[in-house]
Amino acid sequence: MPSPLSLLALLSLCVAGVLSQTCSSNPSTTPNKTIKEVYSYDYSQTFSEPKKEGIAFQDLPGFTRSTYSPDHALITPESRVWAGQPGWKNALTAHLISPASGASFSMFMAHMKPDSEAAPAPAETVERFILVLEGEAQATSPEGKTIILPTNHYAYFPPNTPARLRSATGAGLLIYERVYKAKGNPVFLHGYVEDSPLLATPGETFQLRKLLPQTTDYDFNIHIMDFNPGEYLNVKEVHYNQHGLMLLDGKGIYRLADKWYPVQAGDAIWMAPYVVQWYAALGTTPSRYIINKDTTVDPLFS
């Protein structure tokens, strides 16, 4: 594993000047957003089979980039374990994060084959968020309306809802589930990621979208974060919030505690409270990740 100093030196050089137009050590400088504004993000690698697609994996016996420690984990595509899950029809799931690791939520992938249906949430108090990574799913709203969810569309299912989720032709999903902890009245929502407005990020260069309303009715949010090559988080974060992250496109370096991990599309990361976390985007194309963040609930009761 390269040392932190060598990685930072490499980042500062911006790959021999190729990325000099996007690299900056001054967080107050207005970034060039042109690449991200016109770039069409491609989630296809998130469900790719590493051995078939060559995602930095040479089929070496016993080799994996995956790692686990008490305060963080990196789960790479070659480590996913697919299995049936009770109540799911004609579908397989691969759990990446769950309370077994100390998390307050579950994050998993679902491979829904044609004519498949998801089980309801495992308890009435559980809320569910889904992002369609490939194919097309259909959600039935609490009012009985069918909602078509193509790739890059999402849906939020509040607790105590009769909404259904199925796929007629097959779909690949990323799913977050957690026990609802607020005292509000969240409602069923759905949308297209690119329709979510870009939000201000003072002192940072990345682009941010939040997919759920920022009100006390919702006890967590889903962030979509986009980086041009060479851009990085200015804040080296340490906070009480937990995270489940998946890199949807691109590649970069993620610092977790005192470790530095090369990451790319399809990688999932678990971050426990108060673990040091930082990201830098590398390569020649923008990178995007999705990340959950518990919000609006007092940390004393989170």
Comparing 48 with 269, which gets the higher pLDDT? 269
Q: Which of 234, 229, 285 is nearest to 20 (CA)?
A: 229
The answer on pLDDT for 16 being more than 50 is no
Model confidence, pTM: 0.85
Q: Is residue 53 included in any domain, yes or no?
A: yes
Mean pLDDT for 40-58 is: 70
Kindly state the tokens that stand for 203: 């002192």
pLDDT of 38 reads: 75
What local confidence, expressed as pLDDT, does residue 56 receive?
Answer: 52
Span 51-66, pLDDT tens digits:
555 555 556 788 899 9
Task: Identify the three-state secondary structure at position 17.
Answer: coil
pLDDT in tens, 211-249: 999 999 999 999 999 999 999 999 999 999 999 999 999
What does pLDDT average to over the chain?
A: 88
Query: Is residue 283 a contact partner of residue 252, using CB atoms and an 8 Å limit?
Result: yes
Can you tell me the distance from the alpha carbon of 100 to that of 152, in angstroms, rounded to the nearest whole number?
29
Domain presence at residue 38:
yes
d(CA 112, CA 167): 7
CA distance 292 to 97: 12
> What is the band of 288 on the pLDDT scale with cuts at 50, 70, 90?
very high
- 184 located within any domain: yes
Predicted local distance difference test score (pLDDT) of residue 124:
95
Distance CA 157, CA 187 (A): 7
Average of per-residue pLDDT across 199-221: 96
pLDDT digits 0-9 by tens, 99-121: 999 999 999 999 999 999 999 99
Average confidence (pLDDT) over 3-31:
41
In a domain, 269, yes or no: yes
The values of phi and psi at residue 101, to 5°, are: -95, 5
| 5 — pLDDT class (breaks 50, 70, 90) | very low
Please give the residue range of the domain that contains residue 35.
Answer: 4-296
pLDDT at residue 207, as a whole number? 97
User: The tokens of 164 are what?
Assistant: 């259904």
302 falls within a domain: no
pLDDT (0 to 100) of residue 3: 53
**Would you say residue 159 lies in a domain?**
yes
Residue 10 has pLDDT above 90, yes or no: no
Residue ranges of the alpha helices (H) in the chain?
Answer: 4-13, 34-38, 50-53
Q: Between 18 and 117, where is the model more confident?
A: 117
Average confidence (pLDDT) over 23-39: 50
Confidence category of residue 154, pLDDT binned at 50, 70, 90: very high
DSSP 30: P
**SS3 for 179?**
strand
pLDDT(148) > 60: yes
What would the two tokens of residue 11 be? 């980042």
Residue 33 has pLDDT above 60, yes or no: no
Burial pattern 175-199, b for ≥16 Cβ within 10 A else e, equals bbbbbbbbeeebebbbbebeebeee
Q: Average of pLDDT values for 274-279?
A: 98
**Residue partners of 112: CB distance under 8 A and separation at least 6:** 90, 91, 118, 135, 137, 166, 167, 170, 171, 172, 173
- Give residue 274's pLDDT band: very low, low, confident or very high (50, 70, 90): very high
Cα dihedral 149, 155, 160, 162, rounded to 10, equals -10
SS3 percent helix, strand, coil of the chain, rounded to 5, is 10, 40, 45
pLDDT at 60: 78
Give the number of domains in the chain. 1
Percent share of the chain, pLDDT over 70? 84
In a domain, 176, yes or no: yes
Closest CA to 272 of 2, 78, 74: 74
Arithmetic mean of pLDDT, 62-74: 95
Asked if the structure places residue 301 within a domain, the reply is no
Place of tokens 């397989």: 92
**Residue 12 φ then ψ, to 5°:** -65, -30
CATH number of the domain to which 207 belongs: 2.60.120.10
Q: Does residue 78 contact residue 64 with C-beta atoms inside 8 Å?
A: yes
d(CA 147, CA 138): 6
